[in-house]
Structure 1
């Protein structure tokens, strides 16, 4: 095994990056983070696509301490799979975050998240936001608040997926000019006519 390790360490950085492209960012961090100085440097040159959606609470606790937040380019979260995972993530440290996918979250949770000033400043850099499988229970004002934040205060947003729109939601929204693709999971035919 030592022979293989020595040969792998002799590869050029470019080849390591090519090999790393076939591994998930989660696996890269768990396997090569702090292995030695060279691997740490090679990993520090990569933007990471982190998927927290299928982790247990203990896996999340182990991984979150070694993920370099400033290198996260894409983040996938499932609020259902981990208790309060959404509120324990330091979004304000993710200055390269461009893609955010959140599943199994309520509008109330999103409202709370969007009200945190430093967190929302990070969200203004997003070019893709996907909110999937949201629990539709909640007040209209929570949904409207979240939609207003998305459509009026995310200037770089190009792709947006939202779970539900009501016909009256359009009256309260000022769309962003950069939006290229809007995916609505559930919408009434009246809503589509607007």
Structure 2
């Protein structure tokens, strides 16, 4: 075992980065963080794609303390009631966050999240936002508030996925000029007959 360790440590940093590309960022951080000074330096040069969507509470608690927030480029989270990760994350420290994927969330949860000033400043840097939800019970005003925030105050947004939208919502929204792709999981046409 010691022989293998010595050979791995002799690899050039570029080769280590190539190997790390085949592993999940979660595994890389858990396995190599604070192993020694060289690995700490190599890891500090990487942007991370973190997936917190399938973690238990104890796994989340262990991992969140060793993840360098400023290196997170992509974040996938699930807001299941057992962990409530969504409101425990300090988004304001994630100044490199470009991709955010949130599942199991309501428009009410998103409204609360978007109303936190420091959090929303981070969201303005996003180029991809995917909201994946199976829960469509949200008041129209919550949905409209969230959609207005997304379309009017996220100037770098290129890809957006939203779970529910009414055809008439387009009347109140002005999409950003950078938006290239809009994915709507479920679109209603309730008011078309009026």
Q: Secondary structure at the match of 1:35?
A: coil
TM-score (norm 1): 0.96
Deviation of 1:171 after TM superposition, in Å, equals 1.5
Deviation digits for residues 73-120 of structure 1 (CA, Å, limit 9, x no counterpart): 000001117422100000000000000000000111000000000000
For structure 1, the 5+ residue unaligned runs are none
CA–CA distance in 1 between the matches of 2:189 and 2:167?
9
Partner of 2:86: 86
Deviation of 1:192 after TM superposition, in Å, equals 10
Contact 1:54 1:81 in 2 (8 A): no
Partner of 1:39: 39
Q: Secondary structure at the match of 1:130?
A: strand
CA–CA distance in 1 between the matches of 2:82 and 2:177?
35
- Closer, same or farther in 2 for the Cα pair 1:193/1:99, shift >3 Å? farther
- Closer, same or farther in 2 for the Cα pair 1:121/1:191, shift >3 Å? farther
Deviation of 1:189 after TM superposition, in Å, equals 5.4
Q: Secondary structure at the match of 1:49?
A: strand
- Closer, same or farther in 2 for the Cα pair 1:116/1:66, shift >3 Å? same
Contact 1:70 1:95 in 2 (8 A): yes
TM-score (norm 2): 0.96
Deviation of 1:69 after TM superposition, in Å, equals 0.2
Task: Give the root-mean-square deviation of aligned CA atoms.
Answer: 1.9
Q: Secondary structure at the match of 1:175?
A: coil
CA–CA distance in 2 between the matches of 1:75 and 1:193?
40
Contact 2:166 2:189 in 1 (8 A): no
Deviation of 1:138 after TM superposition, in Å, equals 1.7
Q: Secondary structure at the match of 1:109?
A: helix
Deviation of 1:4 after TM superposition, in Å, equals 0.6
CA–CA distance in 2 between the matches of 1:101 and 1:19?
25
CA–CA distance in 1 between the matches of 2:191 and 2:27?
43
- Closer, same or farther in 2 for the Cα pair 1:175/1:101, shift >3 Å? same
Deviation of 1:168 after TM superposition, in Å, equals 2.1
- Closer, same or farther in 2 for the Cα pair 1:189/1:139, shift >3 Å? closer
